[in-house]
Amino acid sequence: GTSGKLYAMKVMNKRRIKMKKSELLCLCERKALEAVNSKFVVNLNYSFHSKEDVYLILDLMTGGDLGFHLHLRGHFSKAECLYYAARIMLGLQALHDEKYVYRDLKPENCLLDEDGRVKITDLGLATKISSNLQGAAGTRGYWAPEMLRRDRNGKRITYGHGVDWFSFGCCVAEFISGTN
């Protein structure tokens, strides 16, 4: 276009999506990105597909991810922890307001823009809340206990938004201590 604005383009190969049996995850990501319009979540500007690929045109985030910065610095100052935590919390709330559970919160999924503002990205595991939502999803070390729990008969127990708040607590603890 002629606006001069730059975007990020996420390209997903259709053959690879089918091979990994992740058609549903790809569709859920696009729907979640479409549903959430927040300055605390990387936004979908538009999407399209060709015969071979699916394209998502997203906000460009040039500042790197919080995992990278945490690794470089060891830990964040109290002011930085509060700032990042507040923005991540507002991003989670935007997803929750649209009835989505994120399920993959970790520092690597929190991107910085050129001005140092953080946004949640990678909604590939985000899904609509349902009465039968169960099973572990996301990254080990950030899983909430209820993702792994089973009832007396060995059947998985359902969960809701609380799993995101557990992961949020893990991230804040990591920001403070520098340790996962």
Determine whether 65 is an active site residue: no
The dihedral through the CA atoms of 28, 29, 30, 35 has a sign that is: positive
The C-alpha atoms of residue 94 and residue 15 are separated, in whole angstroms, by 32
Among residues 59, 104, 122, 164, the one annotated as catalytic is: 104
Q: Are 126 and 28 in contact (CB under 8 A)?
A: yes
Q: Provide the residue type at 180 as one letter.
A: N
Give the Å distances, CA to CA, from 171 to 9, 49, 69, 82, 110. 27, 34, 13, 12, 10
Name the phi and psi angles at 35, rounded to 5.
-75, -30
Q: Which positions are annotated as active-site residues?
A: 104
